[in-house]
Amino acid sequence: MGPLVERARLGDRSALDALIARIKPKLEAAADRLLKGDLGAKVRRSDLIQSAMMQIFRGMDSFRGQTEPEFAAWALRVLKNESLQTRRFFGRCKRTGEPPKPAEVATPSRVMSNKEEHAILLKAMAALDDDQREALQLKILEDLPHAEIAARLGKTEGAVRMLVARARRNLALQIERLDSR
């Protein structure tokens, strides 16, 4: 087994990052091919790649290969599957007029992963200061416009935009810090 692949399978994030960095040009080229036509008008390449990378990070326990070329092939299959899921999503929305319900299979590893991610998110949210946490909850969870958040918090709309941006940045930093433990 290749040393990077072995370390990545054991949960070494830097090894997985190195593997991803090596295959990123292949992922980008494949994403360009997959997004030709009508799907490319609806989805950005970076969004498709990011979605595939999330699946790769989450699915390392299901990767059965042992070499870097096998990892690259697996990652490209994950990317292709993500593009197919995205295409299906837009196809169903077009037919029914409503977004499809997620059909994710609740495997034990996914259930645990979701619980761990949820716990990390709660801890990261708790680490934000009160204004940032409240602004982020109003923006993301309640989907309120900046003007309404400003009225609720007694701030200007510009101040709320900056507050939400700082909250998102700080939340991402907290998640990264907690996730690397």
Domains and CATH numbers, the chain: 3-96 (1.10.1740.10), 108-179 (1.10.10.10)
Q: What are φ and ψ of residue 94, in 5° steps?
A: -65, -40
Residue 100, pLDDT score: 46
Q: What is the pTM of this model?
A: 0.51
Residue 119, pLDDT score: 82
Residue 177, pLDDT score: 84
Report the share of the chain in percent with pLDDT over 90: 21
Residue 105, pLDDT score: 45
pLDDT of residue 91 exceeding 80:
no
User: What's at 174, amino acid-wise?
Assistant: Q
Q: Give the single-character DSSP code of 100.
A: P
Q: What are φ and ψ of residue 164, in 5° steps?
A: -65, -40
Cα separation of 93 and 101, whole Å? 10
Q: Angle at the Cα of 128 (from 127 to 134), degrees rounded to 5?
A: 130
If you compute the radius of gyration of the chain from its CA atoms, what whole number of angstroms results?
Answer: 19
Residue 103, pLDDT score: 46
- How does pLDDT run across 54-76, given as a tens digit for each residue? 888 888 877 888 889 998 999 99
CA distances from 77 to 3, 8, 124, 133, 168 (A): 22, 18, 32, 38, 31
User: What's at 73, amino acid-wise?
Assistant: A
Cα separation of 45 and 87, whole Å? 13
Residue 129, pLDDT score: 92
pLDDT band of residue 22 (cuts 50, 70, 90) is: very high
pLDDT band of residue 87 (cuts 50, 70, 90) is: confident
- How does pLDDT run across 110-157, given as a tens digit for each residue? 566 677 887 888 888 899 999 999 998 888 888 889 999 999 999 999
The whole-chain average pLDDT of the chain stands at: 82
Residue 181, pLDDT score: 66
Residue 84, pLDDT score: 87
